[in-house]
Structure 1
Amino acid sequence: MQIPSYIYGLFKNQTLLIVTKLSYESGASDKPLLGVTISEKLKETVEKYPDSEALCVPYQNYRVTYKEFWKDVEEVAKGILSYGLKRGDRVGIWSANRFEWVLVQFATSRIGAVMVNINPAYKASELKYALRQSEVRLLIMSKGFRKTNYTEILNEVRAECIHLKHIVVIDHDWNTMLGAGKKITTEQLESIERELQFDDAINIQYTSGTTGFPKGATLSHHNILNNGYFIGERLRYTEKDKVCIPVPLYHCFGMVLANMACITHGACMVLTGEAFDPEVVMQTVQDEKCTSLYGVPLMFIAELNHPRFEEFDFSSLRTGIMAGASCPESAMKAVREKMNMKEVGICYGMTETSPVSTQTFVDDNEYRRCATVGKVHPHLELKIIDPQSGNIVPRGTMGELCTRGYSVMLKYWNNPEATASVIDEGRWMHTGDLAEMDEDGYVKIVGRIKDMIIRGG
């Protein structure tokens, strides 16, 4: 009789005792976690690759090396300090993708301010909630996005946002802010940096709020820096990589999977525009000779189906990330063969886990790229439990996916009740996603708990 590899047998007095392998995995790694702040890691990269390109935004004619990027980030950090902000104060960023967004991201990390990501699509009620709930003191914003006038929206709610003291409209006030920052010395800035701790809160991202008001997932340097680092490790990033980023920066996909993965490896961040345009993305990949391309499956499908697709050269591409939804096998095959992305990766996670918990490997087969979301990330733990009993289920059995480790958020901002409802006493983050784990540790997402029907129990 053959016994499957996921079942262990022991003969004793001619009785077979069977123990089923449980749905638990821990991510072993020979690389330690980064015990530094974001600015400390960025400075290390700047010193290692000063002349490598750091950020390229063709549509804004902005292109800088890591040495120049560090200087620009410092100017913005000083500008923010000139408004009297200090460590722990909240700075809102309300804009679509542009180079100023990236500079604010790293400038706030240099002074210990907590950057609050504000969705470019927010209307008045959503903006008011985010500004009030996180008590934003300084709002850095563009004048608008598409047909939406941000100034008009802000004017509707400004009187009710009592903590909001300063507003910088990028299109009008950016240089004024930089000029004001000249009164702050480099020594003052470095003195502030020396006091920062990698467990400090550095970012608030509001969840979708499908079960009520959005909740502000509060993330630390340690959370997002390490997550970006290990994403880049699994994609085998080096200083020679250029990552094309058409996904939004306000979301973890842009600011962690892309920006943090780049700065931890000396790779170049390449922004394609304020909104997704498949033709612009393909042109950017060709012109900048990008080695990596990000997107949700629908973005890749839009590129593949574009009437000018055959005109573009994708020979520079090697890898990239598809996330946000499962990818049809036909699309995955086309991306790998027609776009030369042989090493494309699939990621799964949630904002509350910084975000990636599982990821495929560059040499995984087509089935694992399409049917699973990969294996547990380094230094993290996964388990799949029975939602009613809380017990870990056997491999191949559906249950709720839980994550534990460095990536789990600090809390929901100013919301201890909501925090306690998702992070248990063992510091496991309950995702609400239904999943299955196979005998090799690969995870398949099959639904949400709220969609599950309980029968007979």
Structure 2
Amino acid sequence: MADSYVHGASSTPLFGETIGTHFTRAAQQFADRPALIVRHQGVRWTYGEMLRRAEDVAANLLALGLKPGDRIGIWSPNNSEWALTQYATAIAGLILVNINPAYRLTEVEYALNKAGCAAIITATRFKTSEYVTMLEVLGAEKLPLLRHRIQIGAETHKGYLNFSALMEPASDAARAHLHEVSSRLQCDDPINIQFTSGTTGAPKGATLTHHNILNNGFFIGEAQRFTERDVVCIPVPLYHCFGMVLGNLACTTHGAAIVYPGEGFDPLATLEAVQAERCTALYGVPTMFIAQLNHPDFAKFDLTTLRTGIMAGSPCPIEVMRRAITDMHMSEVTIAYGMTETSPVSFQSSTTDSIERRVSTVGRIHPHVEVKIVDAEGRIVPRGTAGELCTRGYSVMQGYWGEPERTAEAIDAARWMHTGDLAVIDEEGFCNIVGRIKDLVIRGGENIYPREVEEFLFRHPKVAEVQVVGVPDTKFGEELCAWIRLKPGESATAEEIRAHCQGQIAHYKIPRYVKFVEEFPMTVTGKVQKFLMRERMIEELGLTVEKTA
């Protein structure tokens, strides 16, 4: 039997250039075609207009005194400024640091300081998050490296430059400086830091290069057969690879149009955008597709222009896939799998794979990528045998920002990225993700490592010990459940524990279920048996375990 090793041999070469160089050429080729449509802002830019605006922002950022290699955070929901910042920082050689819009005080403080951000571009507010207020609470003493604060929107705050100032036409001198800077950039320069929750507590900053994400975006678009005639609806967040790589870069490498239906996901706004803009592709995690399919007005919308798209983030129930194909006309919808550290996609189904393949597997290996499945001793296992999925190739990150030890734990001497996912590759090369070596919880497409939540809850003065597991949930796929052992003589309520989390950690990391216990199920060697905790909670709460094909 063959070994579980696959290589995406391809006659299509990789791009050996920067995002700025590639985007400039695309903008010249598709100058008059639509590049960016932002429904909630009334923005409609052609490729020519978007390039000019991105160059102005890039030149004006350098004019502030920022230099190639400086880190610049972006803390905002989806909007035209986010897209401009992505391309402008790439053109100027600035490293864009994605800040999750759901982050609260301790998380944003950690991310900005860990990456050493010299500047931040921030929305004023989004939903219940008052971004400018939170930054003011942190102040200069807690963010000592932050020199520039740039605010999106019409409001003005002392000490903040408005983003609109960056969009002013750059001076000839500023443009000449930009040209000189961008001409020296290399495709292997780091260009993006994305934080991923760590099993050992604090999030790690996956450092990605032009080469990583430009090429991954291109081949993601190729898998969907994108051309300049495609119009792609992107309701997924830009701070995540799903939005900025699978979304923006897959489009701009093919001259396709990008459509943002709103600041955040809304099923009605997404359906309206697909119909009004005659979108040919739609992105989302399964819960987003479910919300649209179950919307009371769903039948009123004409979605016949849809052809393809991507469903990713968590396993897709077969009925949801069937309805996406029949009711939403997405006959060529694809499934993608990857991780932030691999830019992100390693496997993707093709537009011609059977529906059964699209729901039971994550497709086949991406071009120019290698994957092997190994046992606990690092040996490649036979096809059809489960083991840890390891990825190698152009897509593997440079490392975790400022953390060589944690990088060495993830990427071995032969440059294999160890994903921590358990997978099986069949005889035809299709991959099926069967579990997680570590106890990662995926709630509505958001990856949550229980250790990070445990370490935060442990700060509560009454908590002696805490363990967090994921339990099944019909809406979000999984929800968090915390088992807490209190200090002697203390008493607490679930509401008190959740209140401790409000405003400090992202809403999706706050445990839905809290159980106070005297002890945890342990092995003889003293390790907590989280699977037993999970089983007990499923029984105690009467939860349903979702079955997929």
Query: Structure 2 length as normaliser, TM-score?
Result: 0.78
Per-residue Cα deviation, 1:393-445 (whole angstroms, up to 9, x for no partner):
01111100000000000010000011000000000000000000100010000
Separation of aligned partners in 1, 2:367 and 2:51: 29
Separation of aligned partners in 1, 2:388 and 2:423: 6
Q: Which residue of 2 aligns with 1:151?
A: 132
Choose which of 377, 384, 393 in structure 2 pairs with 1:396. Answer: 384
Q: Secondary structure of 1:215's match?
A: strand
The amino acid of 1:243's aligned partner reads: V
The amino acid of 1:57's aligned partner reads: V
Q: Which residue of 1 aligns with 2:533?
A: none
The 8 Å contact of residues 322 and 347 in structure 1, kept in 2 or not, is answered as yes
Q: Is 1:353 equivalent to 2:342 in the alignment? A: yes
Indicate the larger mover: 165-174 or 224-233. 165-174
Choose which of 330, 334, 351 in structure 2 pairs with 1:341. Answer: 330
Per-residue Cα deviation, 1:152-182 (whole angstroms, up to 9, x for no partner):
2112223211110010111141223334943
Q: Which residue of 2 aligns with 1:58?
A: 39
User: Where does 1:372-387 land on structure 2 (aligned, <5 Å)?
Assistant: 372-386=361-375
Per-residue Cα deviation, 1:203-255 (whole angstroms, up to 9, x for no partner):
00000234310000000000000000000011100000010000000000000
Separation of aligned partners in 1, 2:173 and 2:360: 53
Separation of aligned partners in 1, 2:389 and 2:59: 43
Q: Which residue of 2 aligns with 1:406?
A: 394
The amino acid of 1:26's aligned partner reads: H
The 8 Å contact of residues 231 and 259 in structure 2, kept in 1 or not, is answered as yes
Q: Secondary structure of 1:137's match?
A: strand
Q: 1:142 to 1:44 in 2, by over 3 A?
A: same
User: Where does 1:233-272 land on structure 2 (aligned, <5 Å)?
Assistant: 233-272=222-261
Q: Secondary structure of 1:188's match?
A: helix
Choose which of 10, 13, 29 in structure 2 pairs with 1:29. Answer: 10
Q: Secondary structure of 2:98's match?
A: strand
Q: Which residue of 1 aligns with 2:411?
A: 423
Post-superposition shift, 1:188?
Answer: 1.6
The 8 Å contact of residues 91 and 137 in structure 1, kept in 2 or not, is answered as yes
Separation of aligned partners in 2, 1:316 and 1:184: 46
Q: Secondary structure of 1:213's match?
A: strand
Post-superposition shift, 1:305?
Answer: 0.6
Post-superposition shift, 1:183?
Answer: 6.7
Per-residue Cα deviation, 1:360-402 (whole angstroms, up to 9, x for no partner):
000000111000001110000000000x210000111110000
Separation of aligned partners in 1, 2:439 and 2:20: 42
User: Where does 1:286-365 land on structure 2 (aligned, <5 Å)?
Assistant: 286-365=275-354
Post-superposition shift, 1:82?
Answer: 1.8
Q: Secondary structure of 1:128's match?
A: helix
Q: Secondary structure of 1:92's match?
A: strand
Q: Is 1:82 equivalent to 2:71 in the alignment? A: no
Q: 1:210 to 1:311 in 2, by over 3 A?
A: farther
Q: 1:31 to 1:47 in 2, by over 3 A?
A: same
Q: Which residue of 1 aligns with 2:420?
A: 432
Structural RMSD (CA):
1.6
Per-residue Cα deviation, 1:121-157 (whole angstroms, up to 9, x for no partner):
1101000000100000011101011021111211222
The 8 Å contact of residues 59 and 177 in structure 2, kept in 1 or not, is answered as no
Q: Secondary structure of 1:148's match?
A: coil
Per-residue Cα deviation, 1:97-118 (whole angstroms, up to 9, x for no partner):
0000000000000010000000
Indicate the larger mover: 196-205 or 269-278. 269-278
Choose which of 149, 158, 168 in structure 2 pairs with 1:167. Answer: 149
Q: Secondary structure of 1:346's match?
A: strand
Q: Is 1:202 equivalent to 2:191 in the alignment? A: yes
The 8 Å contact of residues 303 and 329 in structure 2, kept in 1 or not, is answered as yes
Q: Is 1:441 equivalent to 2:423 in the alignment? A: no
Separation of aligned partners in 1, 2:439 and 2:282: 33
Post-superposition shift, 1:186?
Answer: 2.1
Q: Which residue of 2 aligns with 1:98?
A: 79
Q: Which segments of 5 or more consecutive residues in structure 1 lack a partner in the other structure? A: 1-19
Separation of aligned partners in 1, 2:51 and 2:88: 9
Separation of aligned partners in 2, 1:258 and 1:177: 24
Separation of aligned partners in 1, 2:170 and 2:125: 25
Separation of aligned partners in 2, 1:180 and 1:234: 37
The 8 Å contact of residues 91 and 113 in structure 1, kept in 2 or not, is answered as yes
**Larger RCO, structures 1/2 (Cα 8 Å, 6+ apart):** 1
Q: Which residue of 1 aligns with 2:123?
A: 142
Choose which of 216, 233, 251 in structure 2 pairs with 1:227. Answer: 216
The 8 Å contact of residues 56 and 169 in structure 2, kept in 1 or not, is answered as no
Q: Which residue of 2 aligns with 1:9?
A: none
Fraction of identical pairs, as percent: 53
Per-residue Cα deviation, 1:296-315 (whole angstroms, up to 9, x for no partner):
01100110011000000011
Q: Secondary structure of 2:402's match?
A: coil
The 8 Å contact of residues 78 and 184 in structure 1, kept in 2 or not, is answered as no
Q: Which residue of 2 aligns with 1:132?
A: 113
Separation of aligned partners in 2, 1:359 and 1:179: 41
Separation of aligned partners in 2, 1:43 and 1:183: 18
Query: Structure 1 length as normaliser, TM-score?
Result: 0.93
The 8 Å contact of residues 349 and 362 in structure 2, kept in 1 or not, is answered as yes
Q: Which residue of 2 aligns with 1:11?
A: none
Separation of aligned partners in 1, 2:90 and 2:151: 20
Separation of aligned partners in 2, 1:180 and 1:71: 9
Separation of aligned partners in 2, 1:48 and 1:71: 14
The 8 Å contact of residues 20 and 91 in structure 2, kept in 1 or not, is answered as yes
Separation of aligned partners in 2, 1:27 and 1:180: 44
Q: Secondary structure of 2:117's match?
A: coil
The 8 Å contact of residues 63 and 174 in structure 2, kept in 1 or not, is answered as no
